Structure 1
Amino acid sequence: MQHKLFPIFLLALCFALQGVADAQFQTVQHSDRIDVMRDGKLVTSYLFRSGTKPVLWPIHGPDGHKMTRSYPMDATIPDEAHDHPHHRGLWMTFGEVDRGDWWAEGKDKGIVAHVKVLSCDSEGSQVSWVAEHQWQKPSEGSPVILETCRYSVSGDADRTMIDCEYLWKGADPAASIHFGDTKEGMFAIRVPETMRGDKPRGEILNSVGDKQGDAWGKSARWVDYSGPVPTGGENLYGIAILVHPKSFHAEGLWHVRTYGLFAHNAFGIKDFMGGRTKTKSGELQAPYEAGGYTLAPGQSLHFMYRVVLHRNRWDLPTGDEHWKTFSQTEPKLR
């Protein structure tokens, strides 16, 4: 009897182990956030509000290390710069929308308000959730932009991938919305202090081969920011941001700084050009066009990014291969 039961036991064990393998990631919903777990350990939290906006923080990459600056959410970490308190984990805002500022923080700044979670996976080899936000004016709180966002988390022992998709529509379907020409934006991460490009082992590399400060204000399919992390010893880790070719103005310029700001900007040009977008003859400087954008009534904007948290540094072939894979994915929001 025992010999007959043993194969049944093994079969049941295989199904159980398969279930564990398929359920690598789990989400736990709270009143103020969604936690994403893997094997019982926190990967990231989607905070409904931090400062003036929803953010992802903290974010843990390979080997469980934190991959973003902790300030200002946690101001107790030694040797962290306490500058730019609006740089919070991973976020999506912009500095000039109908002459209002949603990038910085303060009483006269706009607020991106979390409205509700529309859907949320409980577990799987990939988990995702969809949320609704409103970009509200600071004075009366009336919405300017209705934002639907979708986050998806997947990966393995060597890397964690966070896909971030945003759909923007005007709150007033009869009104246009103007996005100004400013460097202050927009899809952004603040990297750990030890990873900064102005630190001895910090490095910035973009898809056309620019490094460090030379990557600022350039157009690129992807950028990789790498270096040590506070708890990683001598090991190197990296954060890569990839722009999907179907993302609005995917050729936009990168606001990536050696002090740790890491952002892609779909609208700004003049600040990156020293205030100039034209040559002395009056022609636009190739490959740039005039910055800013006016969204027509009833239209929408769609953005797609992938964040890859990985070990070591990327080289050009590695980054290109990851971008090629991402470029073949299809939008989920319509």
Structure 2
Amino acid sequence: MKWMILLWGLASGFAGAELKVEKSEGTLKIFDDGSLLTAYRTDWKVPYLYPLLSPSGANVTRHWPTDPGVEGEEHDHPHHRSLWLSHGSVNGYDFWAFEDGKGAQIVHQKFIAQGVDEQGAAYCSVELAWQAGGKTQLKEKRDHRFWKIGEDTFALQIDSELTAADGDVVFGDTKEGMLGLRVDRSLRLNGPLAKSHIINSEGIEDGKAWGKRANWVAAYGPDERGEPAVIAMFDHPSNLRHPTWWHARDYGLFAANPFGKHDFEGNPDKTVGNYTLKQGKSLKFRFLVFIHHGDLQSADLPAVWTLFSKF
């Protein structure tokens, strides 16, 4: 298939179409032929990306609460901001839902680099600080790389390097984390406008995919314009505890979480999934978000996984 040929090129550094980058204070926007494709935003307690568009022009992630005027959206979980990365227990502080009231936040400190490379792919690197308890718990360097592949596919790679900034850091065992994606109304399994399904790399479908370990998980069905769409998240084999557990909810939340073993496996030991990062040491993660205008067959997610696993 044409898009697969282009994706093979992607693996060697070739992008199918040139994107454009526009930066302002605290925000960076990615444009495709003059149309907004996505934006990195810092107007919340953690940075996030919204919107996230399919090549059809439809937004495939939740609008609310960033855009509160969209009909048919449910106003639950205000911390589910389109696409974001955080965790619910970092040295006991809640960077996910902020239910502990301790003032945790992931602070955008600066843009390190941004632009469009010689192959036409857009990139954005940022420096972040996970702050709580009057100090920086973690320093983070987060790299985003965006590709428009042919006419029907958009891909986003996120690389995160987390460094224990001031003493050891314990990532606690909780289902609330880590790379989170909240899909749009029609791409949900359940809900008043839901029309879609869930599948993972092991062939496990719909509600049974929750808490399972897999290379990837995907939602597929009609987007907000009624066009066929697939949105998938991939866990790189270099990541801690790969293949990760997936917090894949029928109401539209998908999250890759290597720390939630107690919750996902029903282990009576509530600390079994804890992970300690020693002071000054770093932990790296790599994820791919893949958006395809088409069906599961044309998306060919197993082939995407094979390519992604090699770089």
* TM-score greater than 0.5 by the shorter chain: yes
| C-alpha distance in structure 2 between counterparts of 1:52 and 1:157, whole Å | 34
| C-alpha distance in structure 1 between counterparts of 2:211 and 2:64, whole Å | 25
Q: Which runs of 5+ in 1 are unaligned?
A: 1-20, 279-288, 330-334
Is it true that 1:148 corresponds to 2:141 in the alignment?
A: yes
Q: Which runs of 5+ in 2 are unaligned?
A: 1-14
What residue identity is the alignment partner of 1:72? P
Map 1:1-334 to 2 at 5 A.
Answer: 24-47=18-41, 49-105=42-98, 107-122=101-116, 125-137=120-132, 139-140=133-134, 142-155=135-148, 156-172=150-166, 175-198=167-190, 201-230=195-224, 232-233=225-226, 235-276=227-268, 290-314=272-296, 318-329=300-311
Whether contact under 8 Å (1:207, 1:316) holds in the other structure is no
Whether contact under 8 Å (1:136, 1:144) holds in the other structure is yes
Please identify, of 248-257 and 111-120, the stretch whose mean Cα deviation from structure 2 is larger.
248-257
What residue identity is the alignment partner of 1:321? A
Distance 1:103 1:26, change over 3 A: same
Residues 299-334 of structure 1: per-residue CA shift (max 9 Å, x gap):
2110000100102332599211101111111xxxxx
The structure with the largest alpha-carbon Rg is 1
Post-superposition offset of 1:275: 4.8
| C-alpha distance in structure 1 between counterparts of 2:245 and 2:298, whole Å | 19
What residue identity is the alignment partner of 2:152? D
| C-alpha distance in structure 2 between counterparts of 1:28 and 1:151, whole Å | 14
What residue identity is the alignment partner of 1:207? S
Post-superposition offset of 1:171: 1.1
Whether contact under 8 Å (2:30, 2:37) holds in the other structure is yes
Post-superposition offset of 1:51: 2.2
Whether contact under 8 Å (1:51, 1:105) holds in the other structure is no
Whether contact under 8 Å (2:16, 2:147) holds in the other structure is no
| C-alpha distance in structure 2 between counterparts of 1:22 and 1:116, whole Å | 29
| C-alpha distance in structure 2 between counterparts of 1:272 and 1:176, whole Å | 25
Whether contact under 8 Å (1:209, 1:316) holds in the other structure is no
Post-superposition offset of 1:290: 2.7
Give 3-state SS (helix, strand or coil) of 2:303's partner. Answer: helix
TM-score of the two chains, using structure 2 as the length reference: 0.89
Residues 20-58 of structure 1: per-residue CA shift (max 9 Å, x gap):
x986201001112000011111110001x2320110111
| C-alpha distance in structure 1 between counterparts of 2:294 and 2:55, whole Å | 10
Identity value in percent:
34
**Corresponding pairs, count:** 292
| C-alpha distance in structure 2 between counterparts of 1:70 and 1:113, whole Å | 22
Distance 1:315 1:208, change over 3 A: farther
Post-superposition offset of 1:250: 2.2
Distance 1:315 1:290, change over 3 A: farther
- Root-mean-square deviation (Å): 2.1
User: Which residue of structure 2 lines up, in the alignment, with residue 284 of structure 1?
Assistant: none
What residue identity is the alignment partner of 2:291? L
Give 3-state SS (helix, strand or coil) of 2:198's partner. Answer: strand
Distance 1:35 1:316, change over 3 A: closer
Residues 191-242 of structure 1: per-residue CA shift (max 9 Å, x gap):
0011101255311000000001110000000111112222x22x22111001
Post-superposition offset of 1:248: 2.1
